[in-house]
Amino acid sequence: MKTTIVSWILRLVAAGILLQTLFFKFTAAPESVYVFSTLGIEPFGRIGSGVAELIAAVLLLIPRVTLLGALMSIGVMFGAIASHILVLGYEVQNDGGTLFILALITFICSVALVFIHKNQISNLLKLKF
């Protein structure tokens, strides 16, 4: 019971963060355009990462494939964290490090979800699409 509650809290936090950033990516908000221009992958990187984040968020909220969503989220957030560390810096356009912190929170929640849902690995191998 406790594991289920913790799992749902982690899933809602990670999915909530992933979903709330989509507005900025898909509407070409100046901050988002700046980030992806600085990385040299505007607009395709912005839109592509938005699609990946949307898929990861949806998968996180589906109990049967939470592990898959968590793994996808880890991949996307690893890219975001690496971009901040290597190119953008921790603070982007005077945001106080908010984007970096949100990426870290999402990454940590997703790693915890992988451990909680590691028993789904055999189920994922049997999935038929």
| pLDDT tens-digit map of 39-50 | 999 999 999 999
Provide long-range contacts, Cβ within 8 A and 24+ apart, for 100-107: 102/17, 102/21, 103/77, 104/77, 105/13, 105/14, 105/17, 106/13, 106/14, 106/17, 106/18, 106/73, 106/77, 107/73, 107/74, 107/77, 107/78, 107/81
Distance (Å, rounded) from C-alpha 6 to C-alpha 28? 34
The 10s digit of each residue's pLDDT in 1-34 is 778 999 999 999 999 999 999 999 999 999 999 9
Short-list 53, 59, 70, CA closest to 129:
59
Instruction: Give the mean pLDDT of 66-94.
Output: 96
Contact predicate 83/107, CB 8 Å:
no
Is 70 exceeded by the pLDDT of residue 100?
yes
Given this model, what pLDDT does residue 15 score? 98
What confidence category does residue 129 fall into, taking pLDDT thresholds of 50, 70 and 90? low
- On the question of pLDDT at 123 being above 90, the answer is no
Residues 20, 93: Cα–Cα separation, whole Å: 19
**Model pLDDT, residue 128:** 64
Quote the CA–CA distance of 115 and 81 in Å, as a whole number: 21
pLDDT in tens, 54-76: 999 999 999 989 999 999 999 99
